[in-house]
Amino acid sequence: MPPRSAPPRKPAHKAGNTKKSKPKYNPTSTERVGAILNGLAEMYPNAKCALHHSNAWELLVATILSAQCTDVRVNMVTPGLFKRYPTPQHFAALKPEELEPEIRSTGFFRNKSKSVVGAARKIVNEFSGEVPDELAKLITVPGAARKTANVVLGSWFGKAEGVVVDTHVHRISRRLELTSHDEAGKIEQDLMKVMPRDQWIDFAHRVIWHGRALCVARKPKCVDCKLENICHAADKTWSTVEIHKNAK
């Protein structure tokens, strides 16, 4: 019987020639989200709601008026408005058409007038004249959809029930790959999943400020941004990192 041949030897690996696979990129990893939160905190440590108000009712009205309107314009309208109608009871006594001339410059004034007067009547008749501090109750108030409710709960009551998703948060969350969705409700759910609850309120304030100062819609000022080295947005104007075509 012929002798059995030995099995062929596997070629030895050369020292230092072993390739390590690159760790898979995870845009919502705890480390990356933490870096984003830290960078925003460093750039905007004192960020807060830009709408001027002295109580929950004034903030609710200002937020309703801010839809499709700049905060600057709203802040020009509300001082005279609140001087003339200082309480929800004063607004509740109005007919919507009486309020229209007062808020015309904020746009969509007919719908906004109905919302503000309707909100006042609801709050006076069902909540003893006080803006409710619970999400389930607040979203029953005319004009107070989830975004508006989150603004009031977070900025006045200090309650993190959700994340405010305005145009800036919508745009920048997609640029930073914290979400791939385009609908505000789904974006909010994604953000709530990836960051600590105690950061929800500050995150929204800081992203809104960031969207006005640096991360603008067209030609963002990437060279001045502390998040530049972890941002892969497709529309960056300057980059030291790889660009991701879907980050937009």
Give me the active site residues, please.
147, 166
Q: What are phi and psi of 32, to 5 degrees?
A: -70, -45
Q: Which structure tokens are listed for 224?
A: 């001045």
Dmax over Cα atoms in the chain, in whole Å?
A: 112
Spell out the residues 6+ positions from residue 212 whose beta carbon is closer than 8 angstroms to its own.
168
Q: Which structure tokens are listed for 208?
A: 């809104």
Please say whether the beta carbons of 76 and 62 come within 8 A: no
Which residue, 45, 64, 155, 76, is CA-closest to 112?
Answer: 64
The CA distance from 248 to 171, in Å, is 7
Q: Which structure tokens are listed for 49?
A: 């709601």
Which residue, 183, 152, 184, 167, is CA-closest to 53?
Answer: 152
Task: Name the H helices within 48-108.
Answer: 56-65, 71-84, 88-92, 96-103
The single residue listed with the structure tokens 């839809």 is: 67
Q: How far is CA 99 from CA 51, 110, 117, 166, in A?
A: 20, 9, 8, 25
The CA distance from 188 to 193, in Å, is 9
